[in-house]
Amino acid sequence: MVCQRCRGLLVRETFNDLSIESNSVNIATRCINCGYIEDAVVRANRVCASASTQATARGRIGKGHVAPSESGSHSHASIR
C-alpha cells in the first residue's frame, strides 16, 4: 500500500485503545516515511466529508502594492 501524503510504504500496525471502557485493539496503517496513521475512523470521516462537500471554484487573490503610510509617530502599511 502507498501513503497518500508522501507516497511512502504503509504497514499494518495494532494499537491498544486507551479508553477506560474497553481494552480493545485497533488495526491501522502507518507510513514508514512520514509517520501518517490512518484507521477506520479516519477513513470514515474522509468519506463523509467528501460526500457532504463539493468542490467550489475559488478566485485568485492578486498581489497588491504595499505602500507605507505615516500616521503620527507610527508607520503603517496599506495595500492598494
User: How many C-beta atoms lie closer than 10 Å to residue 29's C-beta?
Assistant: 17
**Is the residue at 64 inside a domain?**
no
| Domain coverage including residue 33 | 1-53
Residue 9 covered by a domain: yes
- The domain tally of the chain equals 1
Domain membership of residue 71 (yes or no) is no
Residue 47 lies in a domain: yes
Each residue's pLDDT expressed in tens, for the chain with a length of 80 residues = 899 899 999 999 988 877 667 777 888 999 999 999 998 888 888 888 776 665 555 666 666 655 555 555 555 555 65
SS3 10: strand
Tell me the whole-structure pTM to 2 decimals. Answer: 0.51
